[in-house]
Structure 1
Amino acid sequence: MADLAAPRRATGGVSTPPAAPAARRGPSKRVAGRAVEVAFLVPAVLYLVLFFGYPIVKNVVMGFQEYTTRTFFTGEAPWVGLANYAHVVGDAVFTRSVVNTVLFTAGSIAGQFVVGLAIALFFHKRFALSGVLRSLILLPWLIPMIAGTAVWRWILDTDNGALNRILSALPFVDVRPEWLTSTSLALVAVIGVNIWLGIPFNMTILYGGLQEIPEELYEAGALDGATGWRAFRHITWPLLRPVVTVVLVLGVVYTLKVLDVILGLTGGGPANATQTIALASYMSSFREFDFGAGAALGNILIVMSLAFAIVYLRANRRAVDE
């Protein structure tokens, strides 16, 4: 009896119920936490499935069907297997489109990355009005694409373009290049405009990566003689490589499917000199209304993007491991 009364006296004569074991509260908390996670995850998954998954699957299926305007009325899309792929690959313009796509992508990515990295390194040094100048460089990225291509179409006009007028005003220059109507210059001009449009993206991402590199590393490297080019090679570039990977992969995937720049400047001409796979897919789908052939070309672009991403990521991982 004395032993039983002791706990009551210690608590002022009021008995307290025993505390619930922690093991009983644990599972309920985990279930509630998992329910919250699922509640936040479901909308994102539904969004990806509806706006990314379904269009990709539908495009892949359409590539194997005879999908035309009649399908919208009858609902019938006969299965034709690889006939659409044989048709687009056998087209006389397909080889030219592939070459133009590779040249356009390689030239655009090289120019955008080199100029964007140079500008990012320039703004990495603090000076007056650097923030204002960085904001101005973002203007090409903010201007609507149609407006930007319309301005560049005027600038590159052979007779009344601003660029040719400036060239004519220079001494010892007596040429008026046909930037958009020459089969040898049209692709170069389109690549130049696309470089101008892509520089802000490259500069912004690379500048953010440079900001994450600790200044102490440069100070320590300077003590060992690593300044200038040596500092860039042994400090900046290795630490910036993950950001470079993101910039290049996203840049290639985006550039492969560029349509509005070419459509607004040349429309694929002259004589298919600027015709790309993305433009050919658009023409097949919305000019000829052969949606099956357009989907087949779109699927070829998807395969090219995946192939580049896989090859580059593996090569970059191997370089990092070495």
Structure 2
Amino acid sequence: MKPMTQVPERRSVQSRNGAATSAPSPAHARARRRPTSQQWAAWAFLAPVTLYLALFYAYPLYRNLDLSLRNYTVRSFVQGDAPFTGLANYRKIFDDPTFAPALLHTAVFTAVCLVFQYAIGLALAVFFNQNFRLSATLRALFLVPWLLPLIVSASTWSWMLNSDSGIVNTLLSAFGVGPVNWLTSPSWSLTSVIIANIWIGVPFNLVVLYSGLQSIPTSLYEAAALDGANAWRRFWSITFPLLRPVSAITLLLGLVYTLKVFDIIWIMTKGGPADSSTTFATWSYQLGFGNLLPAFGPGAAVGNLLVVAALVFGLIYLKVQRKQALS
């Protein structure tokens, strides 16, 4: 005998044309609406991630937005009774004479670092993609700047660029070039922190772009070589186009990282001299923590400008990726 299975109770309902149809009973419909064990398991796996994002991303962003919309002092920051001021803190930073130089320095610092980090990283990735004998060893050595703590890297560059005893000026003097005030001259301070940040960011571009090169089939290069294409032609016709998705995410991550660079600039120049290397990241810190009477609201407002800039570029990246997927 075949085992009998329980058939859910169904009731007869009349459709619009008069025909009788059967439908599940209300009890069976309620049972189907209850979460299954798989759904509970899915929510259990999502819970830690959701909690982490809420605690360490959503709540800090909310607090930063709240700080920028209120007139916080040290007393009100502790007691939590700061009056609501709306966009007054944003108007205050827009009217501040430091805003225009900080905006320019942030744009120059970010653009120059991105261009050189990507170009040098791509050149090194193509070089190491040839898989010669010492390729793995040299790649590991190039990762050292990325693995070092930022405070160590910034302190090392501060010593190297010291006007009196730095090794850079010592090398320049060997070629007859006079000493350069890398960290104390308004003309050179921004250049100094850009050089240091490029050195720190090149390994990241190298690793990501090298991984992208490994996914390109070698058969394409072999076919191009048979057609008579030289190395430069193979790069522009095969390597660069096929690296476009990897390049886009590399530049986006580099942009978000470079916008918020604070450690290197603060350790090397503290945004000076005369605000010549001040960016939004260092200015936000100076407003919030660099004075005896901290301006928490304006400092949070400057930080929110960086968040909005990163968000805008992230949305542009998603839109471009969606267009490429549809085309």
Q: Which range, TM-score by smaller chain?
A: 0.7 to 0.9
- Residue of 183, 195, 208 corresponding to 2:198: 195
Task: Report the equivalent of 1:211.
Answer: 214
Deviation string 1:152-208 (CA, Å, 9 cap, x unpaired) is 1010001100111111122xx231111111111111111000000000111000101
Shift in Å, 1:319: 7.1
Question: Within 1, Cα distance between the matches of 2:6 and 2:239?
Answer: 57
Q: Secondary structure at the match of 1:61?
A: helix
Task: Report the equivalent of 1:12.
Answer: none
Q: What residue identity is the alignment partner of 1:93?
A: T
Task: Report the equivalent of 1:5.
Answer: none
Task: Report the equivalent of 1:38.
Answer: 43
- Extract unaligned runs of 5+ from structure 1: 1-14
Q: What residue identity is the alignment partner of 1:150?
A: S
Q: What residue identity is the alignment partner of 2:235?
A: F
Q: 2:171 aligned with 1:166, yes or no?
A: yes
Higher helix share: 1
Aligned residues: 301
Question: Within 2, Cα distance between the matches of 1:98 and 1:167?
Answer: 32
Task: Report the equivalent of 1:110.
Answer: 115
- Decide whether aligned partners of structure 1 residues 236 and 320 sit closer, same or farther in structure 2, where only a CA change above 3 A counts: farther
Deviation string 1:265-288 (CA, Å, 9 cap, x unpaired) is 000001111000111101111123
After alignment, is 72-81 or 98-107 more displaced?
72-81
Q: What residue identity is the alignment partner of 1:187?
A: L
Q: What residue identity is the alignment partner of 2:157?
A: W
- Residue of 284, 289, 292 corresponding to 1:286: 289
- Residue of 260, 263, 285 corresponding to 2:263: 260
Give the 5 Å matches for 1:57-76: 57-76=62-81
Is the contact between residue 213 and residue 239 of structure 1 (CA under 8 Å) also seen in structure 2? yes
Shift in Å, 1:72: 3.4
Is the contact between residue 84 and residue 293 of structure 1 (CA under 8 Å) also seen in structure 2? yes
- Residue of 286, 292, 301 corresponding to 1:296: 301
Q: Secondary structure at the match of 2:164?
A: coil
Q: 2:22 aligned with 1:17, yes or no?
A: no
Question: Within 2, Cα distance between the matches of 1:129 and 1:19?
Answer: 69
- Decide whether aligned partners of structure 1 residues 280 and 34 sit closer, same or farther in structure 2, where only a CA change above 3 A counts: same
Identity of aligned residues (%): 45
Give the 5 Å matches for 1:176-187: 176-187=179-190
TM-score (norm 1): 0.88
Deviation string 1:228-263 (CA, Å, 9 cap, x unpaired) is 122111211121111111110111111011000000
- Decide whether aligned partners of structure 1 residues 175 and 221 sit closer, same or farther in structure 2, where only a CA change above 3 A counts: same
Deviation string 1:95-121 (CA, Å, 9 cap, x unpaired) is 000000000000111111000111111
Task: Report the equivalent of 1:96.
Answer: 101
CA-based RMSD of the aligned residues comes to: 2.1
Q: What residue identity is the alignment partner of 1:208?
A: S
Is the contact between residue 245 and residue 313 of structure 1 (CA under 8 Å) also seen in structure 2? no
Deviation string 1:191-228 (CA, Å, 9 cap, x unpaired) is 00000000011100010111111111111222223331
Deviation string 1:27-50 (CA, Å, 9 cap, x unpaired) is 89x922222222111111111111
Deviation string 1:269-317 (CA, Å, 9 cap, x unpaired) is 0111100011110111112321111110011111122223334554566
Q: 2:137 aligned with 1:132, yes or no?
A: yes
Deviation string 1:133-155 (CA, Å, 9 cap, x unpaired) is 11111100111111111111010
Give the 5 Å matches for 1:69-84: 69-84=74-89
After alignment, is 30-39 or 152-161 more displaced?
30-39
- Decide whether aligned partners of structure 1 residues 226 and 283 sit closer, same or farther in structure 2, where only a CA change above 3 A counts: same
Q: What residue identity is the alignment partner of 1:17?
A: P
- Decide whether aligned partners of structure 1 residues 126 and 196 sit closer, same or farther in structure 2, where only a CA change above 3 A counts: same
- Decide whether aligned partners of structure 1 residues 114 and 317 sit closer, same or farther in structure 2, where only a CA change above 3 A counts: farther
- Extract unaligned runs of 5+ from structure 2: 8-27
Q: What residue identity is the alignment partner of 2:171?
A: I
Q: 2:158 aligned with 1:153, yes or no?
A: yes
Question: Within 2, Cα distance between the matches of 1:68 and 1:202?
Answer: 42
Question: Within 2, Cα distance between the matches of 1:95 and 1:129?
Answer: 48
